[in-house]
A and B are shown apart, each in its own frame.
Chain A
């Protein structure tokens, strides 16, 4: 325990600063809420959007296909993340007599991903319209 507290000693001022900052923020906003003058009238209460009245419900639904794009991007991004070090290390694998193994392993990985691409394509996930 002693070693731990000695290790943490230099960080004490930062902790104090964080606490002070937090207290200041809350104190100022709460005080402003109590002390500040309030003059409300109907127009001030209405929703306001870039100088013009709002149109429609502010909680609108977003199309889910953006999430699909992100997901597909991650999948194929990871493919390239795997292939790059594999390509860089293939000579070393071959030197150890594992060349064919590494080659076939990557082929099976890419074949699996290709099947996934076929699936995504046929399901219509690549048609953005």
Chain B
């Protein structure tokens, strides 16, 4: 046993994010001492904690009456969280070229794959924090722990990207999931958020339990929780136990990435959670879950000479991918709510990502498939955070007028907000996979990898289902540009600087990755040398 500074340096992004979360938590509880004048406004009781003061507001209180106590100004937290996310992004990118090493006695790895995953997670967090700036205040759901929870979950995601031991994977998974459960319940007034959060919590715990069962079986069959040792044991001859273990581990993560038939929670949760959180979940949780899935399948069960065979788990993933693509796209078509449509679209995209995972089991072009997966995750992250960013802005406007999240409220958006309309159209086009955008290049790389891995039927199915997807993505564009405004919009007054910044960032990334994919693709390719044979 030995420890050195390289161990800590290897988990630097996770450390930075955790320190940021602790800082936010500590600053939050001392807030009322720092600014007593803000809290004790007009006859309030300054000594009672902010939480209770807020609870006294009637549910859905819109314009707080002058006698109500205003909560402390917590908007600085978004900027602090964004700063820590940027620091984590910098830390993961700065280490990108360093050699790959095993850290903490082989329970984790610090390699290019982990660093790219951490970079995508931190980037998603940064953009989501900017999108969320002022959102909770606008919906009158401000409580202090929002950004701290986001930072905690992101640190769990960074750890998930580099864990190579089933126990460390489980701990990182729980750190991520518990924080995200809380985040999805943040708009706690009304039935939908409560239902969403409860569903997510129960089904998520179920998934964790299934994963744990698989880990226990793998340990029973190989007497080790390290992925390396599992691979070594497989080389000596597998057993039925290991088959069951692999299947249970895959099912556990199929829940987390929302693959059909484990997708039931997605629409309700994406619909009930605050829009900035939904964007963060769609982008970052997917990245972390897919990264772990790849590590388990390639690091633990992926050896070509192993007893399960090179195609042992491939058939399982091929079926999951095919089902997910078809069902996700079909169910997205009848959706009237944009948020639910994006939820089903996220299921469909999980299907395309699973195509890349299935292609990794192929004989040779494993590097292409992993590089394609990382590129797809990054491009999907930028696109979906942008799309939910626009939804968040619309939600803020609608919260003032009390209308629902129906397509009809998007009609004629181009007349009222030309910039928002253009951004939404760009993100829809990218999600559909039309050329000058990131979505097209991502789909191209993934399907190309599938073809060279001799999964031609799966690639054909992927192309066909993306054509079907055009319908519901372009319908939003039709509503935005070609439908007349049904009702005059509520006052737009406020200028959303941070959210605007985030949308510009997403749009630039989407176009840049679509026009010049080489720069990003080469980073992703270099990152996957770990899994080469």
Q: Return the CB mask of B30-72 against A: 1 if under 8 Å, else 0.
A: 1000000000000000000101100000000000000000000
Interface contact tally, CB-CB below 8 A? 24
Closest partner residue, chain B, to A111 (CB atom): B22
A-contact bits for B111-148, CB 8 A (1 contact / 0 none): 00000000000000000000000000000000000000
Given contact pairs A112-B22, A115-B22, A115-B25, A123 touches B30 in the complex (Cβ within 8 A): no
Q: List 24 A-B contacts (CB under 8 A).
A: A96-B1, A98-B1, A98-B2, A98-B3, A101-B3, A112-B22, A115-B22, A115-B25, A115-B26, A118-B26, A118-B29, A119-B25, A119-B26, A119-B28, A119-B29, A122-B29, A122-B30, A122-B49, A123-B29, A123-B49, A123-B51, A124-B49, A124-B51, A124-B52
> CA of A96 to CA of B25 in the docked complex: distance in angstroms?
37
Contacts of B2 on A, CB cut-off 8 Å? 98
Q: Which residue of B lies closest to A116 (CB)?
A: B25
In which size bucket is the chain A interface? Answer: 10 to 19
Map CB proximity to B onto A86-108 as digits: 1 under 8 Å, 0 otherwise: 00000000001010010000000
Most buried by A among B1, B2, B29, B30: B29
CA distance A112 to B22 in the complex (A): 8
Complex Cα spacing A92 to B333, Å:
64
Residue among A96, A98, A119, A124 having the largest count of chain B Cβ atoms under 10 Å: A119
Q: Provide the A67-96 mask, 1 if CB < 8 A to any CB of B, else 0.
A: 000000000000000000000000000001
The CA-CA distance from A122 to B31 in the complex, in Å, is 10
Residues of A close to B25: CB separation below 8 A? 115, 119
Residues of A within 8 A of B52 (CB): 124
Cα distance A29–B25 in the bound complex, in angstroms:
57
Closest B residue to A102 using CB positions: B3
- The 0/1 profile, CB within 8 Å of A marked 1, for residues 149-167 of chain B is 0000000000000000000
For B1-41 the 0/1 string (1 means CB < 8 A from A) is 11100000000000000000010011011100000000000
Known pairs A123-B29, A123-B51 / 14 extra A-B pairs, C-beta < 8 Å: A96-B1, A98-B1, A98-B2, A98-B3, A101-B3, A115-B22, A115-B25, A115-B26, A118-B29, A119-B25, A119-B26, A119-B28, A123-B49, A124-B49
Interface of B toward A, CB cutoff 8 Å: 1-3, 22, 25-26, 28-30, 49, 51-52
Task: Name the residue on A nearest B22 (C-beta).
Answer: A115
CB distance from B127 to the nearest CB of A (A): 27
Q: Which residue of A lies closest to B33 (CB)?
A: A122
CA distance A115 to B28 in the complex (A): 12
For A123, list chain B residues within 8 Å (CB): 29, 49, 51
Closest chain B residue to A124, Cβ basis: B49
Contacts of B26 in A (CB 8 A): 115, 118-119
CA distance A64 to B51 in the complex (A): 15
Interface centre among A101, A122, A124 (most CB of B within 10 A): A122
Question: How near does chain A come to B217, taking the closest CB pair, in angstroms?
Answer: 16
A-side contacts of B3, CB under 8 Å: 98, 101
Q: Which 9 A-B pairs have the closest CB atoms?
A: A122-B29, A124-B49, A119-B25, A101-B3, A119-B29, A115-B22, A115-B26, A123-B29, A123-B49
Chain B residues near A124 (CB, 8 Å)? 49, 51-52
CA distance A128 to B114 in the complex (A): 45
CB distance from B179 to the nearest CB of A (A): 14
B148 closest partner in A (C-beta): A119
User: Which residues of A lie under 8 Å from residue B49 when comparing CB positions?
Assistant: 122-124
- C-alpha gap A96/B49 in the complex (Å): 48
A96 to B1, CA, bound (A): 9
- Rounded to whole angstroms, the CA-CA distance of A112 and B175 in the bound complex is 15
Distance in angstroms between the alpha carbons of A115 and B30 in the assembled complex: 12
Instruction: Please name the residue on chain A nearest to B2 by beta carbon.
Output: A98
Residue of A nearest to B49 (CB): A124
Closest to B4 in A: A101
A123 and B143 CA atoms in complex are apart in Å by: 12
A62 to chain B, nearest CB (A): 18
Minimal beta-carbon separation of B222 from chain A (angstroms):
20
Rounded to whole angstroms, the CA-CA distance of A119 and B148 in the bound complex is 12
Docked CA distance A122–B52 (Å): 13
Per the bound structure, the CA–CA distance linking A70 and B185 in Å amounts to 22
Instruction: State in angstroms the CA–CA spacing of A112 and B21 once bound together.
Output: 11
Complex CA distance for A124 and B1, rounded to whole angstroms: 42
State how many angstroms separate the Cβ of A70 from the closest Cβ of chain B: 17
Smallest CB–CB gap between A92 and chain B, Å?
10
Contacts of A101 in B (CB 8 A): 3
Nearest CB of A to B185, in Å: 15
CA distance A123 to B26 in the complex (A): 11
Taken together as a complex, chains A and B put the C-alpha atoms of A119 and B26 apart, in Å, by 6
A53 to B: closest C-beta gap in Å: 35
Bound-state CA distance A101–B6 (Å) is 13
Q: Report chain B residues within 8 Å CB of A119.
A: 25-26, 28-29
The residue on B at minimum CB distance from A121 is B29
Give the CA-CA distance A78 to B20 in the complex, in Å: 24
Residues on B with beta carbons closer than 8 Å to the beta carbon of A96: 1
Contacts of B51 in A (CB 8 A): 123-124
Closest CB-CB distance, B469 to chain A, in whole Å?
Answer: 44
User: Closest Cβ of chain A: how far from B72's Cβ, in Å?
Assistant: 13
How far apart sit A112 and B49, CA to CA, in the bound complex (Å)? Answer: 23
The closest CB in chain B to the CB of A105 belongs to B3
